[in-house]
Amino acid sequence: MGYKNYNYIVTHPNIDPNNPDFTPGDSNPYGVSAGRHGAYVVDAGSNTLDRVGYNGNINFRFDWD
């Protein structure tokens, strides 16, 4: 998870301008919800939601800004 979200955050450094603790490049996978087709992972460091397929592919879904 880390490298995918790291790359996203580095290319979007102003994603969370009102958070004084935000550092571009942070990654903190926090919550996981597993399902039939893979899992959704909330990353508290990059404020993103990703889907991880059973084949290991990571797809970015949403960011909170």
Host domain of residue 57: 2-17+27-63
Q: How far apart are alpha carbons 24 and 60 in whole angstroms?
A: 16
Domain assignment present for residue 22? The answer is no
Domain assignment present for residue 57? The answer is yes
Average pLDDT, the chain: 77
Label residues 37-51 b or e (16+ Cβ within 10 Å = b). ebebbbbebbbbbbb
User: What pTM was estimated for this model as a whole?
Assistant: 0.64
The count of structural domains within the chain is: 1
β-bridge mates for residue 51, sequence order: 40, 59
What would the pLDDT profile of 22-51 be if each residue is shown by its tens digit?
A: 666 667 788 999 988 899 998 887 778 889
Residues 63, 53 contacting (CB under 8 angstroms): no
Q: What pLDDT, on the 0 to 100 scale, is given for residue 16?
A: 64
Average pLDDT over residues 1-26: 66
Radius of gyration, alpha carbons of the chain: 12
